[in-house]
């Protein structure tokens, strides 16, 4: 299943190699040659004797050997025949560079299907079509038309856009950034992002996996794999194509609050993927993860030779929620002994504008030795006396001596610092354009460490009545009913351990008063109709009725008014229900993402939920820890904990409610959307009541 045949082939055939400059078939051939590839290269071209000094072959079969990698650069319609040759010869790895397949329409898609069919039968792995190719610097493989072979480095890159990869390569080469492997996956006819990420995870040279993706093929497998890999190798992704579209016709609150971004945010959080907002930021992050240890805490020390950038760094540290390290007395003493009197000995350590390399060396050493410092950021502005190059060398030296804490640099300027920056890069010290981008990188590292240290995921299973729910859902699906009514919803909730309010349906005012008498006052009336989704919008809810008269009046008024407002609606009656004791209203919800499955939601309930949007999402199934995290991620949590002398509610039982709901929707993929709203929670020791619920189902 590995992609070794692409990354480290002993021989490469290029079908469609050309002697015409500017042609892709020429560029790939010359890129392979110029890279210093140690194996054999076979140009395949039936019109030429030799290209660039290499003997040409009219077709694959005439080589007389089996090339380990075949790169195809001929028009799409001719590709299936080449694939047949590969299959017959036993070729195992094929890159199809050519465009004109699935992306151009029906005919192309049919050719692509043929290619895949041949490949699957013969056990050939195919990268592409419609891609830029594959690059493996350490093996001197540049089977691409992306540009010059980059330096060897620790970043493995996967891109769904070939043109973007070419631009990245150009930028990286200009800045001396190295890669372990670069793969352009194009149409993903066979090899997809999962295969490449898996291969990079197994690749010893790759320390960081970075990528640009527009779509993800297999959501669940992706989450599982990414979560597993992130533990060893940071996964840095730019995910494009977030533009909203879906979620418009959602009937639940959860559905309408879950934007197109929500699922990806949940997936990235769960799997520990580090999301980057731009390619620039991705390389900012990648440098640090690839060449520096991760920090063991949030305490940042800053060393600078100018006040301004120091202040900018301090601002950024505060804004990112990191901690500005308080240097230990010992460190301050060390600095005081060696730095001039005007120097600032506290954080940011200002070694002053006339600092030579020695002051930086001293300050960096002292900061790294300080147990109260977890990360050091070194700032430099090029001033009259500044020794940029010796300072860079000193930083590299000290950072290598004390390897346990990350050191980042931000040398400001351009021409005056360019040699210094080269030294930093070669020494594995990430260099940033601005204090802000350096601090954003520190924040990403810190967040990743928190993810790495998360508690083990144990999903609790509650004893439930699964059969009962199965029967209700099955009945609805059989009858093609997509919304589950209040009575059935209540049964489902009870089957999964939720408490629901007592009540019955009344069809006359007198009946309503009777039921109310049995339940005990006060009661609530709710209109009873399969067609009405949001009852309070149409005046279909009346709270706090205190006696027979009020109940009968409310019944008649409701029947009259709702019928008048919605003349075509079937009204089955009115639900007379126990009035829940005073408490806080929260919402527990679920929205099923088509790619990644159930997204759980928690937030302030009642009519405020869509206005205040104080909600949090997480991917099911939930652990107890995750359920609690969801609560804590909202401002509602502060209210639940009790503000201004009000009683606090029972946080544990709300978290349990979320876990029970998570179990329900995980066990029943037929449940498409669901809200428990309001979920009425009282003070500690009381059990919350699922007052109302919306459940919609569909056949899976």
Q: Which of residues 611-670 bind a copy of itself (CB under 8 A)?
A: 611-614, 635, 638-639, 643-646
- Least Å distance between CB 607 and a copy of itself? 4
Q: Which of 219, 413, 428, 530 binds a copy of itself (CB under 8 A)?
A: 413
Dihedrals phi, psi of 69, to nearest 5 degrees: -130, 135
Q: Segment near a copy of itself (CB under 8 A), from 133-141, 157-165, 330-338, 464-472?
A: 157-165
Regarding 238 and contact with a copy of itself (CB under 8 A), the answer is yes
Q: Segment near a copy of itself (CB under 8 A), from 170-178, 196-204, 482-490, 498-506?
A: 170-178
Task: Answer whether 33's CB lies under 8 Å from 22's CB.
Answer: no
Here's the x/- map for a copy of itself, 18-47, by CB under 8 A: it reads as ----xxx--x--------------------
First-to-final CA distance of the chain: 31
Site for a copy of itself in 371-390 (CB under 8 A): 381-385
Task: Answer whether 661's CB lies under 8 Å from 693's CB.
Answer: no
What is d(CA 91, CA 635) in angstroms, rounded to the nearest whole number?
Answer: 59
331: region left, alpha or beta (phi > 0 left; psi from -120 to 50 alpha): alpha
Regarding 531 and contact with a copy of itself (CB under 8 A), the answer is no
3-state secondary structure of 622: coil
Regarding 81 and contact with a copy of itself (CB under 8 A), the answer is no
Query: How far from the centroid of its chain's Cα atoms is residue 114's Cα?
Result: 34
- If the CB atoms of residues 18 and 292 are measured against a copy of itself, the closer one turns out to be 18
Q: Which of 107, 232, 318, 647 binds a copy of itself (CB under 8 A)?
A: 318
- Least Å distance between CB 426 and a copy of itself? 18
Q: Which of 1, 249, 342, 458 binds a copy of itself (CB under 8 A)?
A: 342
Here's the x/- map for a copy of itself, 276-315, by CB under 8 A: it reads as -xxxx------------------------xxxxx-xx-xx
Q: Hey, which residues does 617 pair with through a beta bridge?
A: 601
What is d(CA 464, CA 316) in angstroms, rounded to the nearest whole number?
Answer: 49
- Least Å distance between CB 128 and a copy of itself? 14
Encoding tokens for residue 258?
A: 């879950």
- If the CB atoms of residues 162 and 365 are measured against a copy of itself, the closer one turns out to be 162
- Least Å distance between CB 461 and a copy of itself? 34
Task: Answer whether 183's CB lies under 8 Å from 134's CB.
Answer: yes
Task: Answer whether 616's CB lies under 8 Å from 630's CB.
Answer: yes
* Residue 102 DSSP class: G
Encoding tokens for residue 391?
A: 């300072």
- The number of residues that bind a copy of itself (CB under 8 A) is 83
- Least Å distance between CB 72 and a copy of itself? 16
- If the CB atoms of residues 242 and 461 are measured against a copy of itself, the closer one turns out to be 242
Task: Answer whether 341's CB lies under 8 Å from 375's CB.
Answer: no
Regarding 242 and contact with a copy of itself (CB under 8 A), the answer is yes
Task: Report the candidate in 4, 210, 204 with the shortest Cα–Cα distance to residue 92.
Answer: 4
Q: Hey, which residues does 649 pair with through a beta bridge?
A: 683
Q: Which of 416, 460, 468, 595 binds a copy of itself (CB under 8 A)?
A: 416
- If the CB atoms of residues 83 and 440 are measured against a copy of itself, the closer one turns out to be 440
What is d(CA 183, CA 143) in angstroms, rounded to the nearest whole number?
Answer: 10
Here's the x/- map for a copy of itself, 93-112, by CB under 8 A: it reads as ------x----x--------
Task: Answer whether 622's CB lies under 8 Å from 662's CB.
Answer: yes
- Least Å distance between CB 22 and a copy of itself? 6
Site for a copy of itself in 126-145 (CB under 8 A): 145
User: Cβ atoms within 10 A of the Cβ of 84, count?
Assistant: 14
Regarding 251 and contact with a copy of itself (CB under 8 A), the answer is no
Name the helix (H) or strand (E) containing 44.
strand 40-44
Encoding tokens for residue 10?
A: 């002993």
- Least Å distance between CB 104 and a copy of itself? 6
Dihedrals phi, psi of 215, to nearest 5 degrees: -145, 160
Per DSSP, helices labelled H in 296-434 are 307-319, 329-338, 357-369, 388-401, 418-426
3-state secondary structure of 500: coil
Per DSSP, helices labelled H in 231-327 are 253-257, 262-271, 279-291, 307-319
- If the CB atoms of residues 86 and 349 are measured against a copy of itself, the closer one turns out to be 349
Side-chain-side CA neighbours of 573 within 13 Å: the count stands at 16
- Least Å distance between CB 34 and a copy of itself? 15
- Least Å distance between CB 99 and a copy of itself? 8
- If the CB atoms of residues 381 and 577 are measured against a copy of itself, the closer one turns out to be 381
Q: Which of 56, 136, 412, 558 binds a copy of itself (CB under 8 A)?
A: 412
Regarding 163 and contact with a copy of itself (CB under 8 A), the answer is yes
- If the CB atoms of residues 454 and 534 are measured against a copy of itself, the closer one turns out to be 534
Task: Answer whether 254's CB lies under 8 Å from 674's CB.
Answer: yes
Query: How far from the centroid of its chain's Cα atoms is residue 301's Cα?
Result: 29
Site for a copy of itself in 418-437 (CB under 8 A): 433-437
Q: Which of 426, 474, 610, 652 binds a copy of itself (CB under 8 A)?
A: 610
Q: Burial, 59: exposed, middle or buried (Cβ in 10 Å; 0-12, 13-18, 19+)? A: middle
- Least Å distance between CB 633 and a copy of itself? 14
- If the CB atoms of residues 229 and 378 are measured against a copy of itself, the closer one turns out to be 378
Q: Which of 157, 212, 618, 668 binds a copy of itself (CB under 8 A)?
A: 212
CA angle 34-35-41, nearest 5°? 80
Regarding 508 and contact with a copy of itself (CB under 8 A), the answer is no
Q: 449 vs 290, 296, 405, 430, 641, CA distance in Å?
A: 14, 7, 13, 18, 28
Regarding 538 and contact with a copy of itself (CB under 8 A), the answer is yes
Here's the x/- map for a copy of itself, 551-590, by CB under 8 A: it reads as ----------------------------------------
- If the CB atoms of residues 177 and 620 are measured against a copy of itself, the closer one turns out to be 177
Regarding 174 and contact with a copy of itself (CB under 8 A), the answer is yes
- If the CB atoms of residues 474 and 537 are measured against a copy of itself, the closer one turns out to be 537
- Least Å distance between CB 474 and a copy of itself? 33
- If the CB atoms of residues 139 and 304 are measured against a copy of itself, the closer one turns out to be 304
Largest CA distance in the chain: 103
3-state secondary structure of 497: coil
CA angle 68-70-71, nearest 5°? 145
């Amino acid at each position: 299943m590995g992609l070794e045949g692409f990354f480290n082939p002993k021989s490469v055939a290029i079908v469609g190699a050309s002697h015409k400059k500017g042609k892709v078939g020429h560029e790939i051939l010359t890129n392979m040659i110029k890279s210093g590839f140690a194996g054999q290269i076979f140009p395949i071209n039936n019109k030429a004797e030799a290209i660039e000094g290499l003997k040409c072959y009219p077709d694959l079969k005439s080589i007389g050997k089996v090339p380990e990698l075949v790169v195809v650069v001929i028009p799409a319609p001719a590709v299936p025949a080449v694939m047949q040759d590969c299959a017959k010869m036993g070729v195992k790895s094929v890159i199809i560079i050519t465009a004109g397949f699935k992306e151009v329409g029906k005919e192309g898609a049919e050719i692509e299907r043929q290619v895949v069919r041949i490949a699957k039968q013969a056990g050939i792995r195919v990268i592409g079509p419609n891609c830029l190719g594959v690059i493996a610097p350490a093996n001197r493989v540049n089977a691409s038309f992306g540009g010059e072979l980059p330096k060897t480095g620790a970043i493995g890159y996967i891109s769904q856009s070939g043109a973007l990869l070419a631009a990245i390569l150009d930028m990286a080469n200009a800045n001396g950034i190295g890669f372990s492997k670069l793969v352009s996956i194009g149409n993903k006819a066979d090899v997809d992002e999962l295969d490449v990420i898996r291969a990079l995870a197994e690749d010893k040279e790759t320390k960081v996996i970075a990528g640009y993706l527009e779509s993800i093929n297999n959501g669940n497998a992706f989450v599982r794999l990414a979560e597993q890999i992130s533990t060893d190798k940071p996964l840095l992704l730019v995910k494009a194509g977030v533009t909203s579209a879906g979620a418009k016709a959602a009937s639940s609150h959860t559905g309408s609050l879950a934007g197109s971004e929500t699922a990806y945010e949940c997936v990235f959080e769960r799997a520990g993927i580090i999301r980057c907002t731009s390619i620039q930021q991705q390389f900012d992050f990648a440098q640090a993860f690839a060449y520096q240890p991760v920090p063991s805490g949030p305490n940042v020390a800053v060393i600078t030779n100018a006040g301004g950038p120091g202040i900018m760094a301090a601002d950024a540290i505060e804004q990112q929620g990191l901690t500005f390290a308080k240097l230990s007395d010992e460190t301050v003493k060390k600095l005081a002994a060696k730095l001039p009197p005007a120097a600032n000995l506290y954080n940011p350590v200002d070694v002053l504008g006339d600092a030579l390399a020695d002051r930086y060396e001293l300050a960096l050493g002292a900061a790294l030795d300080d147990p109260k410092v977890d990360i050091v950021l070194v700032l430099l502005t090029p001033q009259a006396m500044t020794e940029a190059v010796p300072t860079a060398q000193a930083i590299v030296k000290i950072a290598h001596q004390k390897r346990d804490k990350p050191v980042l640099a931000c040398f400001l300027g351009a021409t005056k610092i360019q040699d210094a920056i080269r030294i930093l890069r070669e020494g594995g010290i990430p260099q940033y354009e601005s204090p802000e981008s350096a601090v954003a990188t520190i924040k990403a590292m810190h967040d990743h460490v928190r993810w790495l240290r998360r508690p083990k995921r144990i999903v609790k299973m509650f004893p439930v009545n699964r059969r009962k729910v199965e029967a209700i859902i099955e009945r609805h699906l059989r009858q093609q009913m997509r919304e589950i009514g209040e009575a059935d919803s209540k049964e489902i909730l009870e089957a999964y351990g939720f408490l629901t309010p007592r009540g019955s349906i009344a069809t006359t005012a007198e009946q309503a008063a009777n039921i109310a008498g049995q339940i005990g006052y006060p009661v609530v009336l709710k209109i009873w109709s399969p067609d009405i989704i949001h009852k309070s919008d149409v005046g279909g809810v009346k709270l706090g009725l205190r006696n027979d008269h009020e109940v009968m009046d409310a019944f008649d008024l409701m029947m009259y008014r709702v019928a008048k407002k919605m003349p075509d609606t079937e009204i089955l009656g009115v639900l007379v229900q126990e009035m829940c004791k005073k408490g806080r209203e929260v919402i527990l919800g679920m929205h099923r993402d088509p790619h990644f499955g159930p997204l759980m939601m928690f937030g302030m309930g009642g009519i405020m939920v869509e206005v205040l949007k104080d909600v949090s999402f997480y991917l099911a199934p939930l652990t107890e820890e995750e359920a609690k995290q969801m609560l804590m991620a909202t401002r509602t949590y502060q209210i639940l904990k009790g503000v201004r002398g009000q009683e606090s509610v029972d946080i544990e039982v709300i978290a349990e409610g979320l876990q029970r709901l998570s179990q329900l929707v995980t066990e029943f993929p037929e449940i498409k959307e669901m809200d428990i709203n309001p979920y009425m929670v009282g003070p500690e020791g009381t059990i919350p009541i699922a007052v109302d619920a919306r459940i919609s189902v569909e056949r899976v």
